[in-house]
Structure 1
Amino acid sequence: MNRPRSNKSHAGEHTTAGPPLRFPGTLRFDLPASFVLFLIAVPLSLGVAAATGAPLISGLIASVVGGIVAGLFGGTPLQVSGAATGLIVVTAGLVIKFGWAATAAITLAAGFVQIVLGVTRVARLALSLSPAVVHGMLAGIGISIALGQLVIVLGGHAHPTTLENLSELPAELHGSHFGSVVVGAVAVAVMLMWQRIPRSALVPAPLAAVLAATLTSIALRVDVSTVDLPDAPLADMVFPKVPQGSVGAVALAVVSVALVASMESLLSAVAVDKLHDGPRANLDRELVAQGAANVVSGALGGLPVSGGIIRGSANVAAGARTRASTVLHGVWVLVFVVALGGLLDLIPLAALAGVLLVVGLRLVSRDRVRKLAQHGEIAPYVGTLAGVLVFGLVEGVLIGMAIAVLRSLYRLTHSTVRVDEEPDGWRVSIRGSLVFLGVGRLVRELRRIPLGKRVVLELHIDFMDHAAFEAVDDWRAGYQRLGGQVDVDEVHDTWFGKAIGGKPGLRKTPPSPLPRWFAPWSHWQRTRPGDAPGVVLPTQRGDTDPMILGMHEFERNSAPLVRPFLAELAARGQRPKQLFITCADSRVVPNLITSSGPGDLFCVRNIGNLVPVHGTDDSMGAAIEYAVEVLGVSTIAVCGHSHCGAMGALVNGSTRPGTALNSWLHHADRSLIRFHEPSTTIDRELPVVERLSVANVAQQLDNLLTHPAVREAVASNALRLTGMYFDISAARVYLVNPDRNALEPLRTPAGR
């Protein structure tokens, strides 16, 4: 038989980072999007700068550099970079500790660290951090931002730590400034309600909030602090200076800025990637571009730069097609600062604080918390969040990572023990990894079992260390000395048997072990001691019928896994798209050779996988009509197989005349005629029985066309007929070409 060729394709590690700038073709999409980004960037950049205590111009510098530098060279075409909202808390602390000029130098150095990380291709390693820790960090940052900006809305001045802002709140609430509260409340209200207003998408929410709050302050003539840009902002830029302090403190600051900015950028890149159908992100290139942007921003006295999901999602929603939109938005910010910077002096700081208060709270995602709780990951999330709020960003992340690691170790070494009383004794089911950490609990459960009983110790384990083996073996030996009987039933592997034989396993069993139904009953059902001394694979509940034993196995192990699928199928009814006609031979298992599950195949099995012509067998005709007319299947497959007893009987003429079997096999007379035709080109290397099996499949496809329902469906292209041949000894499936009565190898589908 011919063997199929192996066709392998190797996908590149990254796809292209996006098409080059082509303004004529994309201007009508990217130009409007760039104006939307500009309107978002100005208030957001000013708000971040105000929240950190840095010069307000530094936020605008970060937006210009992030848009142009990161936009031109980044690996995520539609990501938009600017002043890093995730670094507000860190930057505010650095400004207080080192001063603004030194903070700019730290930003510059952090950019070089990011470039090194990107060049060494470790960007994806940053994403291996537990999502619970990452989102806990973002939530902690968001709450810290919100508390600091709430103090400003109430008329006070934000402090660098969360605890200081919390302690300041009671005093600010008692003696709050009326004008700041009104202006900040208007900004918050507009941010929260803007999406509910018709056609609100035409104007970004941050811009609408700042405009509404500013107009409110002008209309009410309230006394509030406003943005204070110098008359010549570019002439008054602060350039970086070497930080004064210990080398360790400076190095920690540089690494903190680099890691947090990288994490925020990479998470945003992945999120933006999911919002559009264009080229996928090159994360290493993106990290290098973010580093270059921070080098330039720090050198010019700007805030740290990172990619942001707020700006990126707005870019996609505005219809941007290429990186031109983010580059142009940086250009518009630069033009605005140079030509129209005086207009910014009208904006109240409380308005910017109100915008950032909402932005910070939105970093706490209820949906994310719900999903983490469902997966048992709430502990590292809460630990990270609390650590960030109480101790700081780096400390909070380390606390979260420690909790995540301990949680993972617990899960990897945890086993579940279930003790059930049965009519003929007791059953102890152990699942997971059985190591010394779980020995104490296991022994306590085993000691609950009354003496003198028959106990089945059912092991569903992927690892057993020496301490666990000794505990189980000592208990088994002691229990049997006192008159009991212990049968060890190892379901997925033979850890206990190997250890008794003096050859204990040293590595965990690979995940997803094969279920028992892949092997015949004789391979796992035994009623006498196994090869290893002291190990007994028992009869179950006293039953000896292998089918009943298999049913018990299904109820214990497979039913809990398939119950959700079966419940859904029971509720909505069956909707298979394939009618599978095959032989009743016990060695042919349709679901096994097609990798299908409940609800996938509508199966008909008979001796010889025969399809009697229309009008000669109502049973087969009814099944075909039901499949085609009621179920609406799109494929009918006829599957023959090697070593077929029915084909052997036809060749040898071994059936007795007058028997039902002899009468049934007369439906294969057409196959015999086809087989003996001189034009038949069946592979002559096949044994005669196998050649007849192939010709039989081809003939049954022709027989199907004698049924009107099939013929009409095929004529209308609503139904396809397929012939298959299963080689039992080779465990291999071939297609049958009915025109040549020949076998063809399965070919790998495109893209697989």
Structure 2
Amino acid sequence: MSTSARVRGLMPSLDDYRDLRRTWKRDVVAGLTVGIVALPLALGFGVSSGVSAEAGLITAIIAGVLAAIFGGSNVQISGPTGAMVVVLLPIVAEHGVGAVALVSIMAGVIVLAAGALRLGKAVGVIPWPVIEGFTLGIAAIIFLQQVPSLTVGGEADAASHSSNALIAAVQAISEADWTYVPWAVGAALIVIGFMLLAQRLHPGIPGSLIGIAVVTLLCLMIDSPLAVIGALPAGLPMPALPTITLSGTAALLAPAFTIAALAAIESLLSARVAASLGDTGSYDPDRELVGQGIASIGSGLFGGMPATGAIARTAVNVRSGGRTRLASIVHAVVLLLFVLVLSGPVGMIPLAGLAGVLMLTAVRMVRAATMRSILKSARSDAAAFIVTAIITVSFDLIVAVVIGIVFAGVFAIRNLSRSTGVQREEIAGPPQPGDERIAVVRIDGPLIFASAERVFEEITRMQGATVVVLRMSKLEHVDASGAHALQDIVQSLERRGVTVLIKGVQPVHEDLFRTVGVLNSLRHHRHLFTSLDDAVSHARSHIARGSGRPASALA
């Protein structure tokens, strides 16, 4: 594919909307539904990130439109997400709110570059238990981050609390205003109650929005101490570049890479899940990264936060009938109307009500059936799941993913190495004198660095043979370490006077064996066979001529 064709493949086209005439009504309905569902989440994630509710709305609007136009999925809904909030909170605590716009643009550039470099399929290397452990850890952090809103409300001082959500939650409880707690917990429970009730009545009912409206009305009718969102602007700000300095950019470089990695992982996972939910068409992972990068850059220019694909909102879109990018655009327009028309009432929403929305959202992120499946599966998968979740809560999201992948990889390599088999076989047909001095050894499975030493030891410890036939037709993947182990086996046996014959070298392995020196280590070039019968016949001729050392042991 030419460079120009690759570039065109990453750009929007009219083909993105080929089904619009058939689906536009369902897309509009789905967009209205998702917009209503997204409002409390955008507000809540904006507040929880330490930035503002306004930043959450800006991100949902700007990123929602840009990712819909430039992204690689027909149904992806993008905006602020819980995972991004988890990363942003310590950045805000260390660098201030003003750094968020800049780090959003920096991360967007990195994600955009990853898409342009065709790195979209890299997410496929992340094992499922690691993804689920990561999700569990994020859910726990989102839940814990709401504790300060329920204990100290508007008096909460994020700077005095740890950047670790678990420690910060403990600190908030220790400083709790117990005259405030009943009001806040009551408001959160009312919202949670409406969300649960709406789910039981009909999935399309926006229980979170109804619950927040009820709590807001109650707080207006009753003189309550609950902290509220506060005044919101009645429109979007003008785009502007944030202040850029060399020192500030350098200080935010590591956080930007963390945010970029998280945005890429979450967006591609969301797009992949969406593609499996219904007839939504395929998705282009590289173009999805390009779209998400542009979305974060645009969000940063308007004073918003980094954006990612949102799995929950994307699922609502698909289940509500959304099939083209129009649904995501409509969702952003609905949120914009809330800003333009209802910014005053939105500013009166109690923070405790938003905390209730996010707490139940966090609980719903954890699927009990999935956890049981992983914990009852292989011990290595269960361990990777648990370790990833613990590290996510205790340390850092990206560190957790990296360690989880390494952890799962180590177990996978160990299990793969155990599948390598070394078996001494009986010679087929009527036995002949001297057959007891011929060892036919079959090597099965992969021969890699993790199994090379064991294969070497098992073969060289066999006793009672003066001719060894190594059967390699069942050998699977071989790496350089495995080939080197075979060379050592041949050389070790030949030094002890044991003749080595090799049968069944596959064409895919032949170049590696010649490069490493496996075949050159044979005593004679005629000791390489394609037929087992020919190899055994040659071995018997060696025994008959007494060419090997009589009854010598291999060990």
Give the alignment's TM-score, normalised by structure 1: 0.56
Preserved CA contact (<8 Å) 1:142 1:363: yes
Check 1:503–1:23 CA distance in 2 against 1; reply closer, same or farther (3 A cut): closer
Q: Once the two structures are superposed, what CA deviation does each residue of 1:181-218 show, in whole Å capped at 9, x if it has no partner?
A: 10012222333343112xx3342232233234334444
Q: Once the two structures are superposed, what CA deviation does each residue of 1:554-603 show, in whole Å capped at 9, x if it has no partner?
A: xxxxxxxxxxxxxxxxxxxxxxxxxxxxxxxxxxxxxxxxxxxxxxxxxx
Residue 65 (1) aligns with residue 62 (2) = yes
Check 1:322–1:98 CA distance in 2 against 1; reply closer, same or farther (3 A cut): same
Higher Cα radius of gyration: 1
Equivalent in the alignment of 1:98: 95
Aligned-partner Cα distance in 2 for 1:177–1:95 = 26
Check 1:503–1:105 CA distance in 2 against 1; reply closer, same or farther (3 A cut): same
Relative contact order higher in (CA < 8 Å, ≥ 6 apart) = 2
RMSD of the alignment, in Å? 4.1
Give the aligned residue type for 2:97: W
Equivalent in the alignment of 2:168: 165
Of the three residues 464, 471, 477, the one matched with 2:463 is: 477
Of the three residues 33, 37, 47, the one matched with 1:36 is: 33
Kindly state the Cα deviation for residue 44 of structure 1 after the two structures are TM-superposed: 0.7
1:124-143 map, 5 Å: 124-143=121-140
Aligned-partner Cα distance in 2 for 1:78–1:130 = 24
Give the aligned residue type for 1:89: V
Equivalent in the alignment of 2:414: 410
1:460-475 map, 5 Å: 460-463=444-447, 467-475=453-461
SS in 2 for 1:501: strand
Equivalent in the alignment of 2:359: 357
Check 1:242–1:96 CA distance in 2 against 1; reply closer, same or farther (3 A cut): farther
Preserved CA contact (<8 Å) 2:148 2:173: no
Preserved CA contact (<8 Å) 2:152 2:172: no
Of the three residues 176, 181, 184, the one matched with 2:185 is: 181
Aligned-partner Cα distance in 2 for 1:308–1:81 = 5
Q: Once the two structures are superposed, what CA deviation does each residue of 1:689-746 show, in whole Å capped at 9, x if it has no partner?
A: xxxxxxxxxxxxxxxxxxxxxxxxxxxxxxxxxxxxxxxxxxxxxxxxxxxxxxxxxx
Residue 381 (1) aligns with residue 365 (2) = no
Equivalent in the alignment of 2:553: none
Kindly state the Cα deviation for residue 21 of structure 1 after the two structures are TM-superposed: 7.5
Give the aligned residue type for 2:170: S
Give the aligned residue type for 1:150: V
Preserved CA contact (<8 Å) 1:238 1:300: yes
Of the three residues 202, 205, 230, the one matched with 1:203 is: 205
Kindly state the Cα deviation for residue 507 of structure 1 after the two structures are TM-superposed: 8.9
Kindly state the Cα deviation for residue 91 of structure 1 after the two structures are TM-superposed: 0.9
Preserved CA contact (<8 Å) 1:230 1:236: no
SS in 2 for 1:168: helix
Preserved CA contact (<8 Å) 2:68 2:325: yes
Aligned-partner Cα distance in 1 for 2:505–2:252 = 46
Report how many aligned residue pairs link the two structures: 476
Check 1:113–1:504 CA distance in 2 against 1; reply closer, same or farther (3 A cut): farther
Aligned-partner Cα distance in 1 for 2:445–2:18 = 56
Kindly state the Cα deviation for residue 414 of structure 1 after the two structures are TM-superposed: 2.2
1:448-527 map, 5 Å: 460-463=444-447, 467-477=453-463, 492=474, 499=490, 501=500
Aligned-partner Cα distance in 2 for 1:508–1:57 = 63
1:269-668 map, 5 Å: 269-373=271-375, 374-375=377-378, 376-415=380-419, 460-463=444-447, 467-477=453-463, 492=474, 499=490, 501=500, 531-532=538-539
Aligned-partner Cα distance in 2 for 1:265–1:17 = 23
Check 1:402–1:466 CA distance in 2 against 1; reply closer, same or farther (3 A cut): closer
Kindly state the Cα deviation for residue 166 of structure 1 after the two structures are TM-superposed: 4.2
Give the aligned residue type for 2:167: E
Aligned-partner Cα distance in 1 for 2:139–2:452 = 48
Q: Once the two structures are superposed, what CA deviation does each residue of 1:334-353 show, in whole Å capped at 9, x if it has no partner?
A: 12212220011221101111
Check 1:279–1:504 CA distance in 2 against 1; reply closer, same or farther (3 A cut): same
Preserved CA contact (<8 Å) 2:263 2:307: yes
Aligned-partner Cα distance in 1 for 2:502–2:19 = 67
Q: Once the two structures are superposed, what CA deviation does each residue of 1:71-99 show, in whole Å capped at 9, x if it has no partner?
A: 12222111111113221111111111111
Preserved CA contact (<8 Å) 2:240 2:301: no
1:709-748 map, 5 Å: none
Aligned-partner Cα distance in 1 for 2:382–2:250 = 33
Preserved CA contact (<8 Å) 2:470 2:500: no
Equivalent in the alignment of 2:514: none
Preserved CA contact (<8 Å) 2:417 2:446: no
Equivalent in the alignment of 1:667: none
Check 1:167–1:458 CA distance in 2 against 1; reply closer, same or farther (3 A cut): same
Aligned-partner Cα distance in 2 for 1:456–1:153 = 73
Give the aligned residue type for 2:103: I
Preserved CA contact (<8 Å) 1:127 1:263: no
Kindly state the Cα deviation for residue 59 of structure 1 after the two structures are TM-superposed: 0.6
Aligned-partner Cα distance in 1 for 2:72–2:14 = 5
| Structure 1 unmatched ranges of 5 or more | 1-12, 419-426, 430-451, 511-522, 537-752
Residue 122 (1) aligns with residue 126 (2) = no
Kindly state the Cα deviation for residue 504 of structure 1 after the two structures are TM-superposed: 9.3
Preserved CA contact (<8 Å) 1:275 1:316: yes
Kindly state the Cα deviation for residue 104 of structure 1 after the two structures are TM-superposed: 0.7
- Report the structure, 1 or 2, having the larger strand content: 1
Kindly state the Cα deviation for residue 260 of structure 1 after the two structures are TM-superposed: 0.6
Aligned-partner Cα distance in 2 for 1:397–1:508 = 38
Check 1:244–1:232 CA distance in 2 against 1; reply closer, same or farther (3 A cut): farther
Kindly state the Cα deviation for residue 412 of structure 1 after the two structures are TM-superposed: 2.6
Kindly state the Cα deviation for residue 52 of structure 1 after the two structures are TM-superposed: 0.8
Preserved CA contact (<8 Å) 2:233 2:339: no
Q: Using the TM superposition, name which of 461-470 and 279-288 deviates more.
A: 461-470
Residue 146 (1) aligns with residue 132 (2) = no
Preserved CA contact (<8 Å) 1:463 1:508: no
Preserved CA contact (<8 Å) 2:108 2:297: yes
Aligned-partner Cα distance in 2 for 1:23–1:416 = 54
Preserved CA contact (<8 Å) 1:110 1:294: yes
Preserved CA contact (<8 Å) 1:151 1:172: no
Aligned-partner Cα distance in 2 for 1:382–1:18 = 43
1:20-35 map, 5 Å: 20=17, 26-35=23-32
Aligned-partner Cα distance in 1 for 2:92–2:211 = 28
Preserved CA contact (<8 Å) 2:421 2:444: no
Give the aligned residue type for 1:389: V
Give the aligned residue type for 1:164: I
- Report the structure, 1 or 2, having the larger helix content: 2
Give the alignment's TM-score, normalised by structure 2: 0.74
Equivalent in the alignment of 2:104: 107
Check 1:468–1:242 CA distance in 2 against 1; reply closer, same or farther (3 A cut): same
SS in 1 for 2:121: helix
Check 1:466–1:477 CA distance in 2 against 1; reply closer, same or farther (3 A cut): farther
Identity of aligned residues (%): 26
Check 1:20–1:235 CA distance in 2 against 1; reply closer, same or farther (3 A cut): closer
Kindly state the Cα deviation for residue 253 of structure 1 after the two structures are TM-superposed: 1.0
Check 1:154–1:506 CA distance in 2 against 1; reply closer, same or farther (3 A cut): farther
Check 1:237–1:74 CA distance in 2 against 1; reply closer, same or farther (3 A cut): closer
Kindly state the Cα deviation for residue 41 of structure 1 after the two structures are TM-superposed: 1.6
SS in 2 for 1:100: coil
